[in-house]
Structure 1
Amino acid sequence: MNSEDHDIHTAYISHISHITSYALANTVLEKEKEEDTIFQLASSGFSSTVRLAKSHPEMWVPIFRQNKENVLDVLNEHISQLRKFKSALEKENYEYLEELILKANKIRGILK
């Protein structure tokens, strides 16, 4: 794999995961002012999702800077996916919401 392909693929597979984790952690920290509430309600799913948010900025800011264009492309696509979920909920289109989830479930076959 050449370096250009590597940068594109890592943006999709690694970098967006970190940004998503940081964003979720920031969302919770801004909304839940009581640390005890976070601790009491956090499930293993939440812990798994925000695990990457524990990563140091000294490592990740240079990576995001170096791969900025690919990361921005991936962020735009990720935001588009989030909007699909938001729209399905707003429109109470639970069949479409189920389709989105089932489509995402296909990742299980890849990550065994």
Structure 2
Amino acid sequence: VYMDSKAHDIHLAYVSHLSHISSFALGITVLDKQKDETAIFNLAGSGFESTVRLAKSSPDMWNPIFQQNSKNISEALGEYIKQLERFKYCIDTNEYSESYEMMKDANNIRRVLDGMIKI
């Protein structure tokens, strides 16, 4: 794949850097909760494990990446936070039909990923 460096940095902010931040944040959230409820990890399954897999990545590698691509990462993170806030709103207000539609929309990622050529 060829693209200029600006497009590269924008795209990686969404498909790589945001995934790492999300994983780091989930790891921190659960570790903080675990301080009070040590049994929490007894309930963790493969979904949790695959979601936090990236949280095991090296901060020595990722901190400079976050610094070098901060503008694009901040934009991607802002958009991601808006989606999290939408889910929170749906849960807080019992708008489960809306959260259902959001999940259905997110399922379209399968079509995109299944259509990608794996090298």
Where do residues 61-100 of structure 1 align in structure 2 (5 Å cutoff)? 61-100=63-102
Letter in structure 1 aligned against 2:15: I
Could you tell me the percent identity over the aligned residues? 54
Name the structure 2 match of 1:8. Answer: 10
After TM superposition, what 4+ stretches of structure 1 lie above 4 angstroms from structure 2? none
The unaligned stretches of length 5 or more in structure 1 are none
Structure-2-length-normalised TM-score: 0.90
| Cα distance in 2, alignment partners of residues 35 and 111 from structure 1 | 37
Structure-1-length-normalised TM-score: 0.95
Cα shift at 1:64: 0.4
Matched residue SS, 1:16: helix
Where do residues 1-112 of structure 1 align in structure 2 (5 Å cutoff)? 1-33=3-35, 37-112=39-114
The unaligned stretches of length 5 or more in structure 2 are 115-119
CA distance 1:30–1:36, change in 2 (3 Å)? closer
Aligned length: 112
1:2-28 deviation per Cα after TM superposition (whole angstroms, max 9, x unaligned)? 000000000000000000000000000
Cα shift at 1:34: 6.7
Letter in structure 2 aligned against 1:2: D
